[in-house]
């Protein structure tokens, strides 16, 4: 399959070369043809890391008259040794340790005691437990998988609508990258050279907004849907005792995020502190052993290798596109369109929403930001604000049919088999309010920009 796609790409490139008469700066027609080649690669279904790397080499050899291969090693090595990238495997390792230490189950049970009598009952617990766990995991897929494994058994013998159960868990999982310390912010900051700490601060307001909208959807569902049997009311003393289960998670949140916001540690250093804290709590639970450490490290290594390969292919492609002036040409063209700034930004948002229906979220940020970011900056938008916007759009992609990663994770974890359409239907109202949150942030950008300015 790779050979067929490569041959097609070379043929298209040869035609463009014949029409243009050589390499150098590319006019808009050739940029369009590059986009066609790009779509053919990803439509072929090959691994994204291979697609990015091979596409970069093909574009370089076809369009560039520079010996770009002499700089390929430096291009890949320099960003990959940035200290901020070390935070990615550390946050992944922290989440793996917490999962195997059983702290996620304690978190769910503690929140359930306080939320199960609200309209919507346990569905509120799904959202809030995902939101809290997101503050220490940094990954949407990890959040959905962890809390799904804990929550789904609770609903096995209840009368809750299974579509809403799955939809609320998918929506809660989608908070994993938006709520700091989301890994997407680290990748965005690495690509755009934007402060990761500022991105984390900017994400606080939008995170609260999206979580609140999700809870509102569940409350409305609780009033409209047939009532489910509520558990008996517990005395206040018993509820307060249940909060003990939240202590490990809250301490880790304070250590990880508090150290960043206070300026005491970089994201990488705070991630290392989080790993140490997670290991200590696992030891207190009596679950810290060589087997557990091995399994956590192996899972972290697999995910880190996957992310690293994609980044390497992306860095090579981005370098070649930059020396061919593709992002600069597109930025100048879009910025010069006879349209107001908000209309161009709306087009970019619609582009991401459409892309998210068939492309995985992490791949979206790697492949589009190098081209879209110069356009956004040329339009005069705040890079920090746009980082939050694009992270929200990527989270929407993760719960967008038919290719939302988080939805398939939960589908595979269902105790009782059922059609994937259950997840699609269940997540739809949450998907709608998430889009509303994006447009609220467009209308009121201060939700993301005010806090970083105050704390700077």
For the stretch 180-217, pLDDT in tens is: 888 888 888 888 888 888 999 999 999 999 999 999 99
Cβ partners under 8 Å of residue 319, min gap 6: 56, 68, 71, 72, 75
What's the rounded Cα separation, in Å, for the pair 128 and 364?
A: 27
**Between these two residues, 247 and 137, which has the higher pLDDT value?**
247
% pLDDT > 70, the chain:
77
Cβ partners under 8 Å of residue 148, min gap 6: 169, 173, 409, 410, 413
Q: Is the pLDDT of residue 452 over 90?
A: no
Give the pLDDT score at 213.
95
Read off the DSSP letter of residue 414: -
DSSP assignment of 122-164 equals HHHHHHHHHHHHHHHH--HHHHHHHHHHHHGGGGTTS-S-HHH
Give the pLDDT score at 423.
86
Whether 365 and 186 have beta carbons less than 8 Å apart is answered as no
What's the rounded Cα separation, in Å, for the pair 205 and 291?
A: 40
**Between these two residues, 5 and 172, which has the higher pLDDT value?**
172
Q: Which range, of 125-129, 334-338, 388-392, 433-437, averages the lowest pLDDT?
A: 334-338
Say how far residue 425 (Cα) sits from the centre of its chain: 22
Mean pLDDT of the chain: 78
Per-residue pLDDT band at 388 (split at 50, 70, 90): very high
Compute the average pLDDT of residues 49-72. Answer: 73
What's the rounded Cα separation, in Å, for the pair 293 and 137?
A: 17
Give the pLDDT score at 369.
84
Buried b (16+ CB within 10 A) or exposed e, 231-270: eeeeeeeeeeebeebbebbeebbebbbebbbeeebbbbbb
* pLDDT tens-digit map of 323-369: 777 666 665 666 667 778 888 888 888 888 877 776 666 667 777 78
DSSP assignment of 225-241 equals SPP-PPPPPPPHHHHHH
Per-residue pLDDT band at 46 (split at 50, 70, 90): low
Give the pLDDT score at 398.
81
Per-residue pLDDT band at 107 (split at 50, 70, 90): confident
Give the pLDDT score at 12.
40
Angle, vertex CA 43, rays to CA 42 and CA 49, nearest 5: 20
Q: Is the pLDDT of residue 243 over 80?
A: no
Per-residue pLDDT band at 249 (split at 50, 70, 90): confident
Q: Token pair 């290798």 is at which residue?
A: 305
Give the pLDDT score at 80.
66
**Between these two residues, 313 and 191, which has the higher pLDDT value?**
191
Q: Is the pLDDT of residue 291 over 80?
A: yes
What's the rounded Cα separation, in Å, for the pair 431 and 399?
A: 7
Whether 151 and 170 have beta carbons less than 8 Å apart is answered as no
Per-residue pLDDT band at 74 (split at 50, 70, 90): confident
Give the pLDDT score at 331.
59
Give the pLDDT score at 371.
78
Give the pLDDT score at 430.
94
Q: Is the pLDDT of residue 19 over 60?
A: no
The pTM for the full model equals: 0.75
Give the pLDDT score at 429.
93
């Amino acid at each position: 399959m790779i050979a067929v796609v490569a041959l097609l790409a070379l043929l298209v490139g040869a035609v463009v070369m014949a029409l243009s008469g050589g390499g150098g700066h590319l006019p808009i027609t050739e940029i369009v043809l590059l986009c066609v080649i790009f779509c053919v690669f990803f439509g072929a279904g090959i691994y994204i890391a291979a697609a990015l790397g091979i596409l970069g080499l093909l574009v370089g050899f076809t369009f560039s008259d520079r010996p770009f291969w002499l700089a390929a090693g430096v291009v890949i090595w320099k960003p990959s040794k940035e200290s901020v990238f070390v935070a990615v495997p550390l946050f992944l390792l922290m989440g793996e340790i917490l999962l195997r230490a059983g702290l996620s189950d304690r978190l769910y049970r503690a929140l359930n005691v306080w939320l199960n009598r609200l309209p919507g009952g346990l569905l509120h617990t799904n959202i809030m437990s995902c939101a809290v766990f997101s503050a220490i995991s940094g990954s949407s897929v990890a959040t959905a998988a962890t809390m799904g494994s804990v929550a789904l058994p609770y609903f096995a013998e209840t009368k809750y609508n299974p579509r809403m159960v799955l939809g609320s868990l998918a929506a809660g999982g989608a908070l994993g990258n938006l709520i700091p310390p989301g890994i997407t912010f680290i990748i965005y900051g690495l690509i755009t050279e934007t402060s990761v700490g500022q991105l984390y601060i900017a994400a606080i307001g939008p995170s609260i907004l999206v979580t609140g909208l999700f809870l509102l959807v569940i409350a409305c569902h609780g009033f409209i849907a047939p009532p489910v049997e509520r558990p008996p009311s517990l005395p206040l003393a018993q509820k307060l005792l249940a909060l003990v289960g939240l202590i490990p998670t809250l301490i880790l949140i304070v250590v990880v995020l508090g150290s960043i916001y206070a300026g005491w540690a970089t994201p990488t250093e705070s991630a290392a502190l989080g790993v140490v804290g997670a290991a200590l709590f696992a030891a207190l639970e009596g679950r810290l052993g060589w087997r557990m450490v091995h399994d956590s490290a192996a899972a972290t290594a697999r995910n880190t290798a996957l992310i690293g390969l994609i980044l390497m292919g992306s860095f090579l492609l981005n370098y070649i596109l930059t020396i061919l002036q593709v992002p600069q040409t597109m930025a100048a063209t879009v910025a010069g369109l006879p349209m107001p700034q908000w209309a161009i930004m709306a087009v970019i948002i619609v582009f991401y929403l459409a892309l998210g229906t068939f492309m995985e979220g992490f791949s979206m940020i790697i492949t589009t930001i190098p081209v879209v970011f110069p356009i956004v900056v040329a339009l005069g938008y705040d890079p920090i604000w746009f980082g939050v916007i694009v992270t929200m759009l990527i989270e929407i992609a993760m719960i967008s049919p038919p290719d939302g990663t988080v939805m398939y994770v939960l589908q595979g974890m269902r105790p009782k088999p059922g059609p994937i359409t259950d997840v699609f239907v269940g997540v739809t109202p949450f998907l709608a309010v998430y889009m509303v949150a994006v447009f609220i942030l467009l209308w009121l950008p201060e939700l993301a920009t005010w806090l970083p300015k105050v704390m700077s």
